[in-house]
Amino acid sequence: MSDSATLMARVIPPPMLGGGATKMLERNFLVYRRVWLIVFSGFFEPIFYLFSIGIGLGELIGDVTGPGGEPVAYAAFVAPALLGASAMNGAIFESTFNIFFKLRYGKVYDAILSTPMLPRHIAIGEITWSLGRGALYATAFLVVITVAGYAHSPWAVMAIPAAVLIGFAFAAVGMAATTFMKSWQDFDLVNMVTLPLFLFSGTFYPLDVYPDVFKILTKFSPLYHGVELIRALTLGVFDFSLVGHIAFLLAMGAIGVAVTSRRLDKLLLA
C-alpha cells in the first residue's frame, strides 16, 4: 500500500455496515438501565386520562359510533386512541429533548463520530431507541386495557407493532425537527404541535362530529392515522383504509430518517 493510501486509511475509518446503529442502542441501554423509572414514568399519563375521561365521562356519555358504524362503549373507543398517543408521546420526548441535549450541550455525537460510526448510524440508532420507548409505553398500556375489557378482538395484540410504527413516524420526524432547534425555547413549538394532535385526531370523539373542514384537516394528522389503525385492531373492524394509514406513517418515518441523516451530516461533519 502506498504512503498516501495508508494515510487515507488512518484518516477515514472503515464503515461499520450494520453494527453502528446497534452500538447506539447498546450505549443508550447502558445509560438508562440505572434510571429505568424515569423512562417508565411516561406510561402513567395515558392511564390517568383513561380513568378520568374514558371511564369517568364514559359513564355519562354511554356508547359512541365505532369504526364500523356499530356503537361501542366510550371507554373502549378512547382506550386505543390513548394507546396511540402514548406511543407518540414516548417517541417524541425521547427524540427531541434528549437528542437536543446530546447534540447541542453534551456533544455526545461529536465524540461518537471520532469512531468508525457515521451520522446515519446515529440517526437509525436513536430513532430505533425512541420508537422502542414508545413501544414500551404502548405494550404496558395494552395490558391495562385488555385486563379492563376494552380490547374486543384477539387482533388487539397487533396494536403493539402498530404502536411501533407510530413511534417510528414520530421519532423520525421529531429527531429531524430537533436538528433545526437552536435553544430550549424552541421546544414550545413541540408542545404547540403535539397538544392539538392529541386533542383533535379522533382521540376523544368520532370524526363524524367534526365540521367538514376539520374532517379534512384531521386526515392529515399522523396521530389520526395511528389512532384509526389501533382502534380497528382492538375492536376487530377492518377495511381497506388501514393500508392508507400504514402507508402514511411509513412515508412520514422514511422522510424523517432521510432528513435527520442529512442534517447530522451537515451539523457534525461540516
Domain residue spans of the chain: 37-269
Q: Are 246 and 222 in contact (CB under 8 A)?
A: no
Record the cell numbers describing residue 88, joined without a space.
Answer: 407518540
**How confident is the model over 162-190, as a mean pLDDT?**
89
Per residue in 229-244, pLDDT tens? 999 999 888 888 899 9
Strands (DSSP E) found in 120-236 = none
Per residue in 93-145, pLDDT tens? 878 888 888 888 878 888 787 777 777 788 888 878 877 777 777 788 888 88
CA proximity to 82, closest of 52, 114, 61, 113? 52
Largest pairwise CA distance in the chain: 81
pTM above 0.95, yes or no: no
Map grid coordinates 502506498 to a residue: 2
Record the cell numbers describing residue 191, joined without a space.
Answer: 408542545
Per residue in 204-220, pLDDT tens? 888 888 888 888 889 89
CA proximity to 134, closest of 97, 175, 182, 171? 171
Query: 45-59, 96-110, 179-193: lowest mean pLDDT where?
Result: 45-59
- Helix, strand, coil abundance in the chain, percent, nearest 5: 75, 0, 20
| DSSP per-residue letters across 200-230 | SSSSSS-GGGS-HHHHHHHTT-HHHHHHHHH
